[in-house]
Chains A and B, each alone.
Chain A
Amino acid sequence: ELKVEQNPLFLSMQEGKNYTIYCNYSTTSDRLYWYRQDPGKSLESLFVLLSNGAVKQEGRLMASLDTKARLSTLHITAAVHDLSATYFCAVEELLGDKIIFGKGTRLHILP
């Protein structure tokens, strides 16, 4: 059974600092997603990572995937207040279409 673990679950950080959110998963997969959710809103797709070593960047966010370690990271560079949100990773089963989410990382960036 596919399990997805994110850590930390809550992160409070200063503007201008760097930090990384980790996403581990329990079974083989070739497809991992990162989403952002603002309070009271639905989820918005950030990145789709499809192969080992995949790296995607958008602004101050960079996501990477290591399928051998079953690990993805979301790195935040020089954080700004606008990045405050909850970030979810989601993993798709290799066989089948089930997509399982982590519990989310609530990111709070202090001005």
Chain B
Amino acid sequence: DVKVTQSSRYLVKRTGEKVFLECVQDMDHENMFWYRQDPGLGLRLIYFSYDVKMKEKGDIPEGYSVSREKKERFSLILESASTNQTSMYLCASSRFRESRSPLHFGNGTRLTVT
């Protein structure tokens, strides 16, 4: 069974702090994604990666960066956290496009920025 593990379930940070959200998958998936989920807005794509050291911007990349140094790990970085980044963050992974596989999601990290 595919497992996508997000390092923290709940996180509270102060405005201006640098925040790291970590995600690890154990199924050798090529693609990894970061979404944020807000009530009434659904899931919005922040960044995704289809290979090590590769990254692509999603629809709302401003204020975020990512790192993918190893295939199994995809980190989301908030360079200077702001209160409007309070949200549920979901990491997901999938196999390469031709495999036609769905996304597998982690349990999410609920981040509060005060």
Contact with B along A9-39 (1 / 0, CB 8 A): 1000000000000000000000101010000
- Are B102's CB and A45's CB within 8 A? yes
* Chain A residues with CB below 8 A from B90, complex form: 42-43
Residues of A within 8 A of B12 (CB): none
A96 to B, closest residue via Cβ: B56
A63 at the interface (CB under 8 A from B): no
Which residues of the other chain, B, contact A97 by a CB distance below 8 angstroms?
31, 48, 50, 56, 97
In the complex, chain B residues 58-111 whose Cβ is within 8 Å of any chain A Cβ: 58-59, 90, 92, 97, 100-108
B106: A residues at CB distance < 8 A: 42
The reply to whether B48 and A104 contact each other, CB–CB distance below 8 Å, is: no
In the bound assembly, the distance between CA atoms of A33 and B31 in angstroms comes to 16
Q: What secondary structure prevails in chain A residues at the interface with B?
A: strand
In whole angstroms, what is the CA distance A41 to B105 when docked?
A: 10
- Report chain A residues within 8 Å CB of B108: 42
Given the known inter-chain contacts A42-B108, A97-B48, A98-B48, please indicate yes or no for A103 contacting B41, CB distance below 8 A: yes
Chain A contact-residue range equals 20 to 34
Write the nearest CB–CB distance from B24 to chain A, whole angstroms.
Answer: 15
Whether A50 touches B97, Cβ cut-off 8 Å, given contacts A88-B43, A103-B40, is no
The 4 A-B pairs of least Cβ separation, nearest first, read A103-B42, A45-B102, A101-B43, A42-B105
Q: State the B residues within 8 Å of A (CB).
A: 31, 33, 35, 40-45, 48, 50, 56, 58-59, 90, 92, 97, 100-108
Subset of 23 A-B contacts with CB under 8 Å: A9-B40, A31-B100, A35-B102, A35-B103, A42-B90, A42-B107, A42-B108, A43-B90, A43-B103, A44-B105, A45-B103, A48-B100, A88-B42, A90-B43, A97-B31, A97-B48, A97-B50, A98-B56, A99-B103, A101-B35, A101-B43, A103-B40, A104-B42
